[in-house]
Chain A
Amino acid sequence: MSNSQSPDDGVDQPRQSVYVESEIIMTTVRVVAPFAFTYGLFLTFHGGGSPGGGFQGGTIIGSTILMIAFGFGIEPTRDWIENRSVALLASGGVLAFATLGLLPIVLGGRFLQHDLFKTELGIPHGTKYALEAVEILGVAPIVAGVVVGLFFAIAAGMLGETAPVSQGGEAE
């Protein structure tokens, strides 16, 4: 990566080599990412029966996106994911969690009183499904969205300031 900003000996200048196209990293990410993503989904969906849950699964799903961004460049990944879907993921999780909490009040119970899904709506294993819905629809999307959003936010601050330099570097 050539750096046109400072002709120093490469010690006292900002590190602007944000993205280096590395065959090793890209291949590794290509192999590992599907497994990591599936493992994250597995932890989220099996939180009721095995160690894990929405928080663990959500972080692993989020870090899969981070891994892809590190391997294939942050800008292309952000164009691919789109900021809107990250925001939708996080706020949709809060909305889903709140809805699952407020629904029992509509049914005449208290906030998050999940057993009403069984007794009032007649859903078999209603309590269990409500619990897992909280993990799958509430906690996991919030955590994944916030992790990805934080990463993009910090990367955006950096790219916004040094955009011409880093783009010049990537073009080589």
Chain B
Amino acid sequence: MISGLEAVLVAFLIITAVATALLRDVVAVIVVFAAYSLGMAMFYAFLLAPDVAMTEAAIGAGVTTLLLLLTVARTVRPAQGELFERVNVPALLIVGGFVAVVGSTVVSLPGVGDPDAIVWSNPEVTQYYLEQAYADTGVENVVTAVLAGYRGFDTFGEAVVVFAAGVAVLVVFGTEVFTHE
């Protein structure tokens, strides 16, 4: 079911995720977190979601890492102590319980590519898009057809939200970008 490469990737993801939580040095955390994002991007590619994989590689591993590094560059680096944070036992119990609750739903998820999954075998929505997208829009990529065509209004809203968030950050930063010459 799970190939060797996938197993290695899952192990890599778990190790980097735990290291992100436990490492003490902030720069080390950022680097490990970037590695986690890159592993996640590869995992999305394995799950046949190349669009998500590209976004994760560019934003998660690239842009976020750079922004975090820039932010950390403004802070003070604490004196080097031990390599790992001390584990907070109550927090560990709460997080562990949460993971157990969420993880218990995984068994009832449909398998990857399961033709009987409700999302897939849905004549009104999914199958309609798959059958009609090319005739309706003339675009071969159904994802693009849904995003920019059928759900164009949502995409317009999302694009404006991205723009508004960028403007909001610039306002918070005191419009330094625009006064800087």
Contacts and interface: CB of A to CB of B under 8 A. Distances in A.
Tell whether A and B belong to one assembly: yes
Given A94-B163, A112-B152, A51 B137 contact: no
B163 A90 contact: yes
A98 to B, nearest CB: 8
Contacts of B77: 11-13, 15
Contacts of A55: 55
A48 B149 CA distance: 11
A72 interface: no
B170 A153 contact: yes
Contacts of A43: 54
B98 interface: no
Contacts of B54: 43, 51-52, 56, 59-60
B66 A157 contact: no
Contact of A14 (B50, B76, B136, B138): B76
Interface in A139-172: 139, 142-143, 145-147, 149-158, 160-161
B120 interface: no
A112 B152 CA distance: 7
B73 A158 contact: yes
Contact of B80 (A11, A13, A50, A101): A11
Interface in B124-180: 136-141, 143-145, 147-149, 152-153, 155-156, 159-160, 162-163, 165-166, 169-170, 173-174, 176-178, 180
B179 to A, nearest CB: 9
A15 B73 contact: yes
A3 interface: no
B51 A56 contact: yes
A157 B176 contact: yes
A14 B75 contact: yes
A108 interface: no
Interface of A: 11-16, 18, 43, 47-56, 59-60, 62-63, 66-67, 70, 78, 83, 86-87, 90-91, 93-94, 97-98, 101, 111-112, 114-115, 125, 127-128, 131-132, 134-135, 138-139, 142-143, 145-147, 149-158, 160-161
Given A131-B139, A142-B162, A142-B163, 14 more contacts: A14-B73, A16-B73, A59-B55, A67-B62, A97-B160, A98-B156, A115-B136, A134-B155, A138-B156, A146-B166, A149-B169, A150-B166, A152-B177, A153-B173
